[in-house]
Amino acid sequence: MIDLFSLGKRIREFRLKKGITQIDLARGLCTPSMISQIESDRAKPSHKILVAIAERLSVSIEHLLSDVNLDFEFRSKLKMAVGFVRAKEFRTAIPFLQELIDSSHPRMKSSEIHLELATCHLELGDVEEAITLLNGLYEWANRKQGHEMLVTTLMRLGSAYQKKGESALALFHSKRAFEELEKVDEHDPILRSKVLTLLGSVYEQMGKLEEAATFYEGALGEGQGKIEERGQSYLKLAETYHKAQCFEKAEEYAERASMLLDELKNVEQEQALKYRLVKLKSKKGDWRKSVDALLQIAEHYQDSSEKEKIGAIFADIAMICSKHGKYEDAWAYAERARLSLSDLHPAMGIVHRVLAKVYRERRDNEKVEKHLHNAIKIFQQHGKVAEFEEVNNQLCEHLIDRGMHKEAFELLAKFQSFMKQKLEQKGIVL
């Protein structure tokens, strides 16, 4: 029979095997006193410290935690798993969450673990797996009348279908989440803000900008606390109003977002907000300054492994250049973007639109049509309905200009059939 240990005893066992002292193990991580408390089970390490301890002991976290007595340690393991989720280390979190579910511990809230696991799969792009878990959670929450879990599950289902590009189902589940929230007098303002933001995002994806702006403003009215969340909401509103050609409102919210940049302490969050703000401001004023600002942001990512962020920035620069008639520059930046992006990355839709515009200037009709078809394919796959419709209309106009009326009509009919199918999917009529 395998002996079961506490986590502290397990760490002490590996430390002694490695032949190092508590001082050696603690160096650069925490105090020796903290290591002593951890080993005597008087303190629990955070997930960050646990990862560092495992690395220093030359063992994997899974091996470190194997044979640990769940009766004493399941709470600690659960906290660590949730910590990994909050730290966006989703792949690391999944084995712990699955182990907790498989253990069927009597004091464990299985629904919460399933929700965390569904979140991990959703963030990693395993949408079908997430939907399967969420549908099971929905049935449980509906049966048990767990109001907050029901709202959260419906919201996650909305996000999942949005990622699949199924806007009709995304809207259906998001509306259900909102309706459930409205059934109680006292609601969680943070949860309500998240639901309203999701509704705004779905409506924006569908090209319904007036509805999107209404829900984004409603989310702000719930009093979002974190600077980055407010900054994101201001930018979403600015972008939405700009698309709707309400330029005064767009400028107002862009200015609010700009003011928040100075308050951010997290460099990554600051760069992300600055990126979106520069993109918005590029649509008016001195576009060359916007290009220079975007190049500076790209420089920030040069030493990182996030090549696709650089590619997306180059795609935006290419679009700005093409809009101002700088077609050779647009072509050059589009080609630089292609080097950093996978073929079906959402930003490749922008790249193909730019290249179509460049080749239209060069009167190369074959390449114009090829790139517009590629853009349509990418926007359709990622559920970007507004962009899909816009590019589809561009291709129709191009075909009509060439006298290809039959092909243009077939393309338009195909788009309308696609939209009808989305709206009627699974019998849901909106």
Question: pLDDT digits over 57-114, tens only?
Answer: 988 876 776 655 544 456 666 777 788 888 788 888 888 888 878 765 544 567 888 8
In the predicted structure, residue 352 carries a pLDDT above the cut 90: yes
Pull the structure tokens for residue 14: 């590996």
What is the predicted pLDDT for the residue at 209? 84
The two structure tokens encoding residue 2:
């395998």
pLDDT score for 426: 45
Residue 429, pLDDT above cutoff 50: no
Task: Indicate whether 427 pLDDT > 50.
Answer: no
C-alpha to C-alpha distance for 66 and 269, rounded to whole angstroms: 36
- Assign 148 a pLDDT band (cuts: 50, 70, 90): confident
For 168-185, the pLDDT digits (tens) are: 899 999 999 999 888 876
153's tokens: 């599950």
The winner for highest mean pLDDT among 41-45, 89-93, 424-428 is 89-93
Instruction: Please report, in angstroms and rounded to a whole number, the separation of the first and last CA atoms in the chain.
Output: 60
DSSP of 255-279: HHHHHHHTT---HHHHHHHHHHHHH
Place 19 in a pLDDT band, splitting at 50, 70 and 90. very high
- Which tens digits make up the pLDDT trace of 372-391? 999 999 988 877 777 888 88
More confident of the two residues 333 and 252 = 333
> Average of pLDDT values for 223-236?
70
pLDDT of 160 > 90? The answer is yes
pLDDT band of residue 4 (cuts 50, 70, 90) is: very low
- Kindly list the distances between the CA atom of residue 428 and the CA atoms of 73, 208, 297, 422, in Å, as whole numbers in the listed order: 46, 18, 43, 9
Q: Please give the pLDDT value at position 191.
A: 83
pLDDT exceeds cutoff 70 at 5: no
Are 347 and 311 spatial neighbours (Cβ–Cβ below 8 Å)? Answer: yes
Between the alpha carbon of residue 136 and those of residues 185, 397, 415, the distances in Å are 27, 47, 34
Domains and CATH numbers, the chain: 1-89 (1.10.260.40)
Average pLDDT of the chain to the nearest whole number: 80
pLDDT at 400 over 50: yes
pLDDT band at 408 (very low <50, low <70, confident <90, very high): confident
Residue 3 has pLDDT above 50, yes or no: no
Tokens of residue 215, six digits: 């829900």
The pLDDT, as a whole number, for residue 88 is 80
Task: Please give the full DSSP string across 24-55, using - where no structure is assigned.
Answer: HHHTTTS-HHHHHHHHTTSS---HHHHHHHHH
pLDDT > 70? residue 269? no
pLDDT over 50 (residue 422): yes
CA 74 to chain centre: 30
Q: How far apart are the C-alpha atoms of 312 and 278, rounded to whole Å?
A: 13
